[in-house]
Structure 1
Amino acid sequence: MQVAELPKAGFTEKVVPPKYIPPEINAKAAMIIDASDGDIIYQYNENEAFAPASMSKMMTAYLLLESIHNGKVRWEDPVKMSAKAAQTEGARIPVQVNDTLTVKDLYHALMIESANNSAVALAEHMAKSEKDFVQLMDAKAKQLKMSEHAKFANASGLQEPDGSETKMTAGDVAQLAYHLIKDYPEILEVTHLRQSQLAFNNINVISTNDMLNKNNKSLYIEGMDGLKTGFTDSAGYCFTGTAKQGDNRIITVVMGTSSKTKRFTETNKLMSYAFGLVN
């Protein structure tokens, strides 16, 4: 299997025994990396930029956790929903303008239910505006040595009214997930949850990750505990998955699959292949 190095990442190709044949993946792009060192196990169309949809929320989460660790933001900080945040379309939690939620509530809604209004509210809390926050996202992408194709449009991954949207390669998404888990492993304490109740109005947020359900035998992978789904009309159905079996943690990325279920079945193929190699 001929595999190129991830652009600027410093990741290297794992030596794959010839008997292990990679699965046929129905997606625009895909990648598998070893979460311990970033070594590439499999990649397909990894250098072409696509819309990642809500997978870009991993960058919003990264910057939030960085701000928490730096003491600039606290979990109990109150965040008042602006008109822009409250009225953000797509996946959202039921809140109104001027409702006040904690950073912790917004973080759970962001990473479990993929709430777009939570993403905007957190962005506005960390920066003067979402526009200013996007500059932080782009700067962090460069710091994490993501490719020149990585360009953020907003904190949520939605398409902007003018048609512009975030673009990333599968390599960029894998790179972001790798650093998120490596630098802030506590993210998995939230992303492994199938649901969570917020303090605000006892709102119950439900995970968008169907692979967490052990009863779903066709999708479930042992050790699955994250990480982030994504969907827009232009992006298709996307998923960054991660699972740990024994001492081995794997990160997978699929972009541009054709259905909600397909993003998980393709991830299942990648995970099964990867754990067959490393276990």
Structure 2
Amino acid sequence: MNFRSIIATTLLLVAGFQTALAAPVIVPRAPDLNASSWILIDATTGRVLTENNADQRLPPASLTKMMTAYIVSKEVHEGRISENDLVPISVNAWRMGGSKMFVREGTSVQLLELLKGLMIVSGNDATVALAEYVAGSEEAFADVMNQQALLIGMENTNFKNSTGWPAENHYTTAADLSKLAQRLIHDHPEHYRIYSERRFSYTPPGESAISQPNRNLLLGRDPSVDGMKTGHTEAAGYCLVSSALRDGTRLIAVVMGTSSPNARATESANLLQWGFRYFETQTVLAAGQTLESAKVWKSTIDQVELTIPDDMTLTLNRGSFDDLAISAQVNDQLEAPLSAGDVVGFVEVQLNGEVVGHANIVVASDVPEAGFFKRLWDSIVLFFSGLFS
């Protein structure tokens, strides 16, 4: 297939970048944390900004509940259960130790309330009640959790229960948890917002309200932090998955195995601060944005608009977007019929000679085929133009 170049300058102007060379951006070494394992990623692009022992299998404690919440949100989104469902509280749920929402055996609690109890105060009782409601038993729910983990690329994870209660062969990694956090934010934003609530109150039937604070200390220290989950057991230490949004860039930090609630918050804050200081995320080209109009042969129309199917969003060192070079190539002979989304070329984004972004170029709309005589005439024209080109 022969390609021709699209005018790169046009794309640069559309993207809003300059071609003038700028001084290289110097990024210092990432902070060294007092933790067993950590990772920092951009939530939109998934780019790993720094990591340490991120693939080490560790007990996740209550970070496990992120998967329970993800599955419950998924079930609600797909219409199999409702936020307004009344969930029965079993003896198993009521007897759970550790952090609790303080539901009562034999009662029924609205599903959304249980989800809040899981997300905000890490209630083991609420978590087990939800697991039993979705899958019939906590053991069956753990099987669902492991299947879902594989579907989203958590290859170093194995769950034995819904809560993170210490159990043999119950483990995950910082890298896997960052993937789960990414999916929680993107797939179910309506429920992700619950993680930012700093206090939760629940009133058991016939009793006074029980009010508990969110254990994520970053929510009170950094206004850009809006989630997400703490965890602690003796084996796991103090863990925190946190996410923050500043100037359109969202980062996710996972810190595992620190020494105290304050330490997990401080170390996570250090990681986020470094990330926001030296990196940013921007959309270079937008899905549906017209790159150019191309000539089409053997069709009832003469031109078709070309675009890319998905946003091209990059995470780069701050200041690097001014140095991007964007080039594109398109098949020099487009012939009908074509369907919207058919690939007809590609676009590349380079930074200092290195390709940092790549996308297919597609036709933006269907291109119908012309009648017999128009197709014949265009075939003749193309034949002779090929002879003399």
1:71-82 alignment to 2 at 5 Å?
Answer: 71-82=79-90
Please give the alpha-carbon distance, in whole angstroms, between the structure 1 residues aligned to 2:62 and 2:204.
Answer: 23
Q: Is 2:121–2:200's contact at 8 Å kept on the other side of the alignment?
A: no
- One of 147, 154, 157 as aligned partner of 2:161: 154
Give the secondary structure class of the aligned counterpart of 1:121.
helix
- One of 31, 45, 51 as aligned partner of 1:23: 31
Matched, 1:207 2:208: no
Matched, 1:229 2:237: no
Please give the alpha-carbon distance, in whole angstroms, between the structure 1 residues aligned to 2:247 and 2:274.
Answer: 16
Q: Is 2:142–2:162's contact at 8 Å kept on the other side of the alignment?
A: yes
Q: Which protein has the larger Cα radius of gyration, Structure 1 or Structure 2? A: 2
Please give the alpha-carbon distance, in whole angstroms, between the structure 2 residues aligned to 1:80 and 1:245.
Answer: 40
Q: Which residue of 2 aligns with 1:58?
A: 66
1:238-257 alignment to 2 at 5 Å?
Answer: 238-257=239-258
Segment drifting more, 35-44 vs 198-207: 198-207
Q: Deviation per CA, 1:105-129: give whole Å up to 9, x if none.
A: 1000000000001110000000110
Compute the TM-score of the two structures, normalised by the length of structure 1. Answer: 0.87
Aligned-pair distance for 1:233? 0.7
Please give the alpha-carbon distance, in whole angstroms, between the structure 1 residues aligned to 2:128 and 2:115.
Answer: 11
Give the secondary structure class of the aligned counterpart of 1:243.
strand
Q: Deviation per CA, 1:210-231: give whole Å up to 9, x if none.
A: 1111xxxxxx223100000000
> Which one scores higher on RCO, CA 8 angstroms, separation ≥ 6?
1
Q: Deviation per CA, 1:164-207: give whole Å up to 9, x if none.
A: 15200111111111111111122332111101334655443421
Letter in 2 for 1:209: N
Q: Which residue of 1 aligns with 2:188?
A: 184
Q: Which residue of 1 aligns with 2:197?
A: 193
Q: Percent identity?
A: 33
Please give the alpha-carbon distance, in whole angstroms, between the structure 1 residues aligned to 2:123 and 2:259.
Answer: 22
Report how many aligned residue pairs link the two structures.
Answer: 254
Please give the alpha-carbon distance, in whole angstroms, between the structure 1 residues aligned to 2:102 and 2:200.
Answer: 15
Q: Which residue of 2 aligns with 1:259?
A: 260
Q: Which residue of 1 aligns with 2:92?
A: 84
Please give the alpha-carbon distance, in whole angstroms, between the structure 2 residues aligned to 1:19 and 1:248.
Answer: 17
Q: Which residue of 2 aligns with 1:11?
A: none
Please state which structure has a larger fraction of its residues in strand: 2
Matched, 1:171 2:175: yes
Q: Which residue of 2 aligns with 1:6?
A: none
Q: Which residue of 2 aligns with 1:10?
A: none
Question: Any stretches of 5+ residues in structure 1 without a counterpart?
Answer: 1-15, 214-219
Please give the alpha-carbon distance, in whole angstroms, between the structure 1 residues aligned to 2:222 and 2:49.
Answer: 18
Matched, 1:268 2:269: yes
Q: Is 1:109–1:205's contact at 8 Å kept on the other side of the alignment?
A: no
Letter in 2 for 1:30: W
Q: Is 2:55–2:175's contact at 8 Å kept on the other side of the alignment?
A: yes
Please give the alpha-carbon distance, in whole angstroms, between the structure 2 residues aligned to 1:158 and 1:27.
Answer: 21
Please give the alpha-carbon distance, in whole angstroms, between the structure 1 residues aligned to 2:176 and 2:27.
Answer: 29
Please give the alpha-carbon distance, in whole angstroms, between the structure 1 residues aligned to 2:176 and 2:67.
Answer: 11
Q: Which residue of 1 aligns with 2:329?
A: none
Cα-Cα RMSD: 1.5
Q: Is 2:184–2:192's contact at 8 Å kept on the other side of the alignment?
A: no
Please give the alpha-carbon distance, in whole angstroms, between the structure 2 residues aligned to 1:222 and 1:143.
Answer: 33
Please give the alpha-carbon distance, in whole angstroms, between the structure 1 residues aligned to 2:54 and 2:41.
Answer: 12
Question: Any stretches of 5+ residues in structure 2 without a counterpart?
Answer: 1-23, 281-389
Please give the alpha-carbon distance, in whole angstroms, between the structure 1 residues aligned to 2:173 and 2:270.
Answer: 20
Letter in 2 for 1:251: I
Give the secondary structure class of the aligned counterpart of 2:62.
helix
